[in-house]
Amino acid sequence: MLTLTSASSALTLFPECITQWRRFAISAAAGDKFPSFLPKQMEEIKDPFARKLATRIERLPVTVSFSEKSIMSSCVKPLIQSNQNPVVLLHGFDSSCLEWRYTFPLLEEAGLETWAIDILGWGFSNLERIKSCDVASKREHFYQLWKSYIKRPMTLVGPSLGAAVAVDFAVNHPESVENLVLIDASVYAEGTGNLAKLPRAAAYAGVSILKSFPLRLYTIFLAFKGVSFDTGLDWVNIGKLHCLYPWWEDATVSFMISGGYNVSRQIDQVKQKTLIIWGEDDQIISNKLAVRLHCELPNSIIRQIPDCGHLPHVEKPDSAARLILEFMQNYSCQKKAQLAPTDEVVY
């Protein structure tokens, strides 16, 4: 099991990281123009990386069977096209593509064609006329977005509940997924459990608590090690932005009462090469489950990041980016070696 001992090891592999981070922060501070569909509270966010990535969020029309009109779906598109298949970043439960604000620029600077996608029901898509945000709807929406815009097998990256989304998608649409990266994966929860049995009125009451400031601040300090109070406040505000849309409660209740993701029985059906990344100090999902997942996934490798909590791509972006890039490079080399012609020796 590989362990990264320090951020300096990532910067050795990523010599451009320091320059990229400085350039990214300077350009963010120079004045940001946000898309008009983002909540006006985006202007109050202090984090320069969140502000910069937010300027690149756009909405693409996606046609699905459960909506009469196309869903204007939010994502961050790549600036470059690569000969290598793209890397597509999902986010965790009730979050958005801004979760990737630190790691996205590192992957892009390394030359990867990088997408950050908002899962249906969360993020900054327009869901004004959408009545269903269950697992099947999320899967269909993502597939239609992939089919319309990405169009190539991808390295699909899923953190936390996003890992369950990735596993479900890889099993149901294996032609779309070349390989997987699962980060502190929430894949053993039995959906939304008893919350699925709540009366609708009680479900709405629970959802209102979900977006409460005290609960989200507590979650920040549980998920991350050594975060200052001021940083924690800003991160809460970033994480709550999508909750300000009028359809957020309906979408979240729809997901809750549908039963949510229950993918534990799908794990052994995953055929793609998979990288499992885990923060050694995760206080939300035990790293014992990382070992279990490694044992149950037939074609996987596991890497742990020391002194790191539940979301390495936020807390240790240089380490997370290094591991993803290294995994993709090794996979590409192995694939080329398998396709290379061999000289036959005739006796």
Catalytic residues: 160, 282, 310
Q: Judge contact between 177 and 152, C-beta under 8 A.
A: no
For residue 302, give the amino acid letter. I
Q: Judge contact between 28 and 49, C-beta under 8 A.
A: yes
Q: Which two tokens stand for residue 43?
A: 């202007």
Q: Is 193 left (phi over 0), alpha (psi -120 to 50) or beta?
A: left
Distance, C-alpha 314 to centroid of its chain: 11
Q: Judge contact between 212 and 236, C-beta under 8 A.
A: no
Distance in angstroms (rounded) separating the CA atoms of residues 337 and 340: 5
Distance in angstroms (rounded) separating the CA atoms of residues 138 and 140: 6
For residue 190, give the amino acid letter. E
Distance in angstroms (rounded) separating the CA atoms of residues 185 and 169: 14
Angle in degrees, CA 29, 30, 31, rounded to 5: 95
Angle in degrees, CA 47, 52, 56, rounded to 5: 140
Residue 53 contacts by C-beta under 8 Å, 6 or more apart in sequence?
76, 97, 98, 100, 101, 104, 105, 116
Residue 101 contacts by C-beta under 8 Å, 6 or more apart in sequence?
47, 49, 50, 52, 53, 238, 314
- The strands making up 114-117's β-sheet, listed across from edge to edge, are 2-3, 300-305, 273-279, 177-183, 154-159, 87-89, 114-117, 71-76, 57-62
Torsion angle (degrees, nearest 10) of CA 128, 146, 81, 74: 10
